[in-house]
Amino acid sequence: MEVAQVARSIATFGERYLRRVFTERELAYCTAEGRDPAPHLAARFAAKEATCKALRVGDAPLDWRWVEIVRRPDGGSAILLHRGMRSLARRRGGVALCASMSHDGAYAIAVVLSQERSRPRTLPSTDRRNPRRTHRR
C-alpha cells in the first residue's frame, strides 16, 4: 500500500475518511503527538485488507471498522474483529488470526495468517499386531 495514497485521502476527505475507515483506538495510536500518522494508518489499512482476504470476505458487506488493528504490550499487532466480521469468522468455523505489519518510506505492508481453531479429532485406530498399519480392513 502506498503511504502517499493514505496521505492524499486524509488531505482530501479529512475526518470523514478517518472516521469511516479507522476505529478510535487506531486513530489515537496513529495520531499520537510527534508521530506521522500516514505510514501507521497505511499499515493498518493494509492489515485490514489482508484480514478480509484471509477470511475470504468476497462481496459480503463490510465496514472497515469491523477489523481493528491494535498494538499488543509486547509491541506486536493483534487483530480484533467486531460485529459483521466477527460473525463471518464464526461462520468460517472460528479462526485464529496473526498479523505482521511494516512501513518504510513510500510503502506499508501487512501479512495476515488465518488458521482454523483446532477441534478434537479422532485418530485412526492402530492394529496392534502390525504397528505400521494405521487402520483395520
- Supply 12's cell numbers: 482530501
Is CATH 3.10.20.880 the right assignment for the domain spanning 3-116? Answer: no
Higher-scoring residue by pLDDT: 116, 131: 116
Sorted by sequence, the CB contacts under 8 Å of residue 20 that are 6+ apart come out as: 64, 65
- Supply 121's cell numbers: 479429532
Tell me: pLDDT of 131 over 60: no
Sorted by sequence, the CB contacts under 8 Å of residue 132 that are 6+ apart come out as: none
Q: What percent of the chain has pLDDT over 70?
A: 85
Sorted by sequence, the CB contacts under 8 Å of residue 30 that are 6+ apart come out as: 22, 37, 40, 41, 44
* Mean pLDDT for the chain overall: 88
Higher-scoring residue by pLDDT: 117, 136: 117
Tell me: pLDDT of 24 over 90: yes
Task: Compute the distance between CA of residue 98 and CA of residue 100 in angstroms, rounded to an integer.
Answer: 7
Instruction: Identify the band that residue 115 occupies on the pLDDT scale cut at 50, 70 and 90.
Output: confident
Sorted by sequence, the CB contacts under 8 Å of residue 39 that are 6+ apart come out as: 3, 103, 108
